[in-house]
Amino acid sequence: MAPFVFVPGAKWGKYIPMSLAQPIAALPFSRRGACPSLDEPMRTGDGLLARLRIVGGRLGPEQLKAIAQQARQHGNGLLEITARGNLQVRGLTEQSSRLFARAIMGIVAIETGLVVETPPLGGDDPSEFSDPRPLAEAIRNMAQPFAGLLGPKVTIIVDGGGQISLSGLKADIRLVAVAAGRWHLFVAEGTAEELAFSEALARVSELLQQLAGLGPTARAADLVPPSKQSQAQAGSSPIGDFTLRSSVAAGVALPFGSIAAEDLAALACTAGQMGVTEIRLAPHHGLLAIGAGTAFTQRAAQLGFITTSSDPRTRISACIGSDGCASGHIPARVLAARIAAHLPEKTRLHVSGCAKGCAHPPPADITLVGRADGYGLVIGGKAGDTPRTVLQADQLESSLAAR
Ligand code: SF4
């Protein structure tokens, strides 16, 4: 057996193969660029933000309700589901974040280590080629000894090819089922390699060990020649009704990825009363209630959730803005809700509290940027680009409708 060495980590440290010891020796205790987590929340304009990596993205209505109540008690009462389907709680303080973390550990199991994502209906979806969960689990187990050597943003997607695919999300390594037991493996933006289960596992192991050897800033793009082809495509919406192997699911989304704790708790309560036993977090700010039907969706609409994929809010990104961020000039989400009905079809809008553009870093068809003197209008660009003109509050609806 290869010799192992103990390497101190951010909290406890771990044993790793001697051959991989060199890169980790350079790792600082608190890794820069790390994603916000429950025990290491990130400072934002409205306090600390904690991201909860709930195991499998699956939890019961009572657990969701309890998390919302803790968010109300310890944070500013706002919860988010990110584009990748992670639950986030905002507005924590140094002190309350510790209490919040302790409370959450008593409510739900939190995942750590290498990020390996699977679609929310994985394993229950009659239209998928292969259940992605066994391969995802095998990758997690295989990577355990050296996961701490990998950069915190290194991500693997295992997609069975079903109704809600993760094709809209970027990944360092992507495995997509193309037939029963057959997988296409993509490294960063590279070309597909078709492999069986065991071959895919071996190849991922090889790639992760190469990345670990390159150190914590390495990403899969460092392993392959640059390509103009982007592997990320438009992802499928989690909104609507889905047929599962032995049940159904009702999918809704959080407007602009955010919802008040009271409304999320109320929806969880409704789900529990309707006999829903499981809720799954979904990409594109979604939430799926397994076994739920029309009555659940109707209640979600009353509470302000998005319940149809034609809702213009699905095409708008907006940060918290001045309602919770010290840098914000405008209450971006409030404004976005006001002007949503005026957004032309097939047009993507980004409403940003300031030029930083946190909610949508890439270009959008239209971007409205909060400024001290009004609303910068950027067409086909990013929030930080020079605006074409600066609008005033009473010009926004007409300006959108004219595009
Ligand atoms: S874009 Fe500006 S206002 Fe919005 S969250 Fe980021 S820093 Fe705050």
For the chain, domain boundaries: 4-30+121-222, 313-401
Pocket perturbation via mutation, ligand 1, pick of 76, 316, 319, 334 by most ligand atoms within 8 A of CB: 319
Q: Which pTM was predicted?
A: 0.86
Atom of ligand 1 nearest to the CA of 354: 2
Q: Which CATH superfamily is domain 313-401 in?
A: Sulfite Reductase Hemoprotein, domain 1 (3.30.413.10)
Tell me, in angstroms, the distance from the centre of ligand 1 to residue 322's CA. 8
Convert the pLDDT of each residue in 178-234 to its tens digit.
Answer: 999 999 999 998 899 999 999 999 999 999 999 999 999 999 999 987 665 555 566
**Predicted local distance difference test score (pLDDT) of residue 4:** 39
C-alpha–C-alpha distance, residues 5 and 65, integer Å:
43
Ligand 1 center to 30 CA (angstroms) = 24
Say if residue 21's pLDDT is above 70. Answer: no
Q: How far does the centroid of ligand 1 lie from the alpha carbon of residue 210, in Å?
A: 36
Architecture of the domain spanning 4-30+121-222 = 2-Layer Sandwich (3.30)
Position in ligand 1 atom list of the atom nearest CA 356: 1
Expressed in angstroms and rounded, the spacing between residue 360 Cα and the centre of ligand 1 is 10
264 Cβ contact list (under 8 Å, min separation 6): 64, 65, 68, 79
What is the arithmetic mean of pLDDT over 328-347?
A: 96
Question: For the segment 137-170, what is each residue's pLDDT rounded down to a tens digit?
Answer: 999 999 999 888 999 999 999 999 999 999 989 9
Burial class (CB in 10 A: 0-12, 13-18, 19+), 118: buried
CA of 295 to the centre of ligand 1 (A): 36
Q: Given this model, what pLDDT does residue 28 score?
A: 33
Q: Residue 324: pLDDT band by 50, 70, 90 thresholds?
A: confident
DSSP letter at 255 equals: G
- Name the β-bridge partners of 43: 48
Q: Within 6 Å (CB) of ligand 1, which residues are found?
A: 45, 319-321, 325, 327-328, 352-354, 356-358
Relative orientation angle of helices 133-143 and 197-214, to the nearest 10 degrees: 40
